[in-house]
Amino acid sequence: MSSKRAAAEGNKEMLYEILRLLAKLENSTPEKIAASLVSKYDTSPAGKLWYMEQRGYIKWSDNSYALTPKGRGKFAEREIWELSIPTPKRWDGRWHIVLFDIPKDRRKRRDVFRLHLKQLGLVLYQNSIWVHPYPLELQVRAISDFYMLSKFVSFAVAEKLTGEVHLRRQFRLNE
């Protein structure tokens, strides 16, 4: 990882940390936020607060900071990226399939949706068809709801798939 990318990742982490603190301490004073950040980061907390205020994530009113709707959205998006599919001790022998047909006018959201599916560990089976061995509907539904794509996403469960041997190997399933 390049040093620029590492710095960018660190900034994202700090932004998320500040948003998390603000969500927990809604209408908190800068002193409270700064005190909790100083121990974790070398960067100036006051500078980060200024940056977040300039970007519209937080606002200063009545001698305290509060999250804006944009800040709440950023916080919610981070939680969506942290979703994962639980792995049961034993595979039930069924394939869980996500199918979607998202229009071209929603291309950016479609691309981000695909990235989420890949990050969750799903495997591209065919164009717009993704497969995973474990139940995933709740997690994928949360992602599609967040990006307002739910009406374009469907789910299926299958007991057999063409090319299943390759998929079993890819998911390290021994059955």
The pLDDT mean for the chain works out to 82
- DSSP secondary structure code for residue 93 in this structure: S
What pLDDT is recorded for position 79?
Answer: 86
In 3D space, the residue among 7, 71, 62 whose CA is nearest the CA of residue 29 turns out to be: 62
Per-residue confidence band for 150, with pLDDT thresholds at 50, 70 and 90: very high
What residues does CATH 3.30.70.240 cover in the chain?
A: 86-170
CATH of domain 86-170: 3.30.70.240
Per-residue confidence band for 7, with pLDDT thresholds at 50, 70 and 90: very low
In 3D space, the residue among 140, 129, 132 whose CA is nearest the CA of residue 88 turns out to be: 132
137 touches 96 (CB < 8 A): yes
What pLDDT is recorded for position 149?
Answer: 96
Strand intervals (E) in 46-159: 58-61, 64-67, 95-100, 123-126, 129-132, 153-158
Given the DSSP bridges, would you call strands 58-61 and 64-67 parallel, antiparallel or unpaired?
A: antiparallel
What residues does CATH 1.10.10.10 cover in the chain?
A: 3-80
Please state the rounded mean pLDDT for residues 45-54: 76
Check: CATH 1.10.10.10 for 3-80? Answer: yes
Please state the rounded mean pLDDT for residues 61-72: 82
Q: What is the pTM of this model?
A: 0.69
